Amino acid sequence: MRIVFEKRKSRARGVLFAVPALSFMISLLLTGIVLLIAGADPFETFASMAFGAFGSSNGVSETLVKTIPLALTGLAVALAFKLRFWNIGAEGQLVLGGIAASWVALFFGPSLPGPLVLPLCIAAGLAAGALWAGIPGLLKTRLSVDETLVTLMLNYVAILFAEYLYYGPWRDPKGYGFPGSAPFVESAWLPRIFGRAHAGIWFIPVIAILLWILLRRTRWGFELSIIGASPKAARYQGIAVQRNILLAVLLSGAISGLAGACEVTGISHRLQQGLNIGYGFTAIIIAWMSQLNPLAIPFVALLMGGILVGGDQVQMMMGLPSAMGTVMQGLILFPMLAGSLFTEYRIRLLGRRHKRGKEACAEGEA
């Protein structure tokens, strides 16, 4: 008997949902083992994680605060990954978006008419994110330079640039040595809707639905899906592969930049430390768990936001390391990846009879 893998022609719907769900279960199990080794009761820990994230209005608001950048960067990453452009620079694009929005708020906010400030901050964030993604995008499409490394290296550059700004020229003179810029004028604040959760949350459904329509219902989306499946086939069909990749990458960067603009205008109201806390990497998990489906991303982002907030909670309540949430996120990906075997392939056990039949066919052809 032999095991045979057949590539599925289309992905099976049932498997598509079952694999991420099962992966989450397995990751709970694996995290439970880690917790046991670390000397904590897994059930108690999970219960207090869930309670911390969703059990109080404060918890829910903090979970939403984390969900906003995670969902936006998740959508950004999914768009780029659809084209096999491995953008792991969402973090840097987010930071640069935050810097640009801060620039507008700090230097033009006081003199501009009030209603103009916030839209301009958002626009600056979008543009800066697109610009930061455009560098690896151009290098990839013009010179075929590997984008994985360039996007990643630009994360470090953006983070260091932000550090330079809030420790250096933008530092608040009245900040008592606190590393951060001066606070923005109030016209640059995104309104709060629930606790610390701000109006940036409305961007999530808008962008998720627009992206879904774009990818599934428009000609451009159709072209992108062909490029993602096979650039060669796309070229034969007369699709402008390089230009389309660049456009999608710019759009991806813009969405991450928007996330950064929302962070500074919605949460901190200044440029300060803590803009880069691994959202870009968590975004990759979210995009992959959602199987790059824009409509699934907000929900997975909510789950991941909950894990992060719950992780902080158990750190305070049970004295577990704060990295607990990150470990759990990492553990979700492995069963997910192993599961791709089941979404991409049909597994069949071939008995002797079948094999013999195949050989007979081959002989007949000969």
For another protein, the binding residues (CB under 8 A) are 4-7, 34, 38, 86, 88, 139, 143-146, 148-150, 152-154, 156-157, 160-161, 163-164, 167-168, 281, 284-285, 288, 321-324, 326-327, 329-331, 333-334, 337-338, 340-341, 344-345
Please state the closest distance from residue 226 (CB atom) to another protein, in A. Answer: 19
Please state the closest distance from residue 300 (CB atom) to another protein, in A. Answer: 15
Q: Which is nearer to another protein, 62 or 147 (CB)?
A: 147
Q: Which is nearer to another protein, 123 or 333 (CB)?
A: 333
Q: Which is nearer to another protein, 52 or 136 (CB)?
A: 136
Q: What angle do CA 97, 223, 215 make, to 5 degrees?
A: 55
Please state the closest distance from residue 261 (CB atom) to another protein, in A. Answer: 22
DSSP codes joined into one string, 28-75: HHHHHHHHHHTT--HHHHHHHHHHHHHSSHHHHHHHHHHHHHHHHHHH
Closest CA to 274 of 262, 286, 259, 263: 263
Please state the closest distance from residue 231 (CB atom) to another protein, in A. Answer: 14
Q: Which is nearer to another protein, 160 or 210 (CB)?
A: 160
Q: How far is CA 144 from CA 44, 95, 137, 193, in A?
A: 51, 25, 9, 44
Q: Which is nearer to another protein, 238 or 319 (CB)?
A: 319
Q: How far is CA 342 from CA 7, 168, 331, 339, 351, in A?
A: 10, 52, 19, 5, 20
Classify 180 as helix, strand or coil.
Answer: strand
Please state the closest distance from residue 299 (CB atom) to another protein, in A. Answer: 20
Distance CA 221, CA 44 (A): 46
Q: Which is nearer to another protein, 44 or 146 (CB)?
A: 146
Q: Which is nearer to another protein, 164 or 202 (CB)?
A: 164
Closest CA to 53 of 356, 322, 306: 306
Phi, psi of 319 (to 5 degrees): 70, 20
Q: Which is nearer to another protein, 188 or 312 (CB)?
A: 312
Tokens encoding 314: 């158990």
Cβ atoms of 180 and 166 closer than 8 Å: yes
Please state the closest distance from residue 245 (CB atom) to another protein, in A. Answer: 16
Q: Which is nearer to another protein, 236 or 345 (CB)?
A: 345
Distance CA 70, CA 280 (A): 8
Closest CA to 308 of 62, 76, 74: 62
Distance CA 317, CA 155 (A): 33
Tokens encoding 333: 């990906």
Burial class (CB in 10 A: 0-12, 13-18, 19+), 154: buried
Burial class (CB in 10 A: 0-12, 13-18, 19+), 117: buried
Please state the closest distance from residue 187 (CB atom) to another protein, in A. Answer: 30
Please state the closest distance from residue 338 (CB atom) to another protein, in A. Answer: 5
Please state the closest distance from residue 351 (CB atom) to another protein, in A. Answer: 16
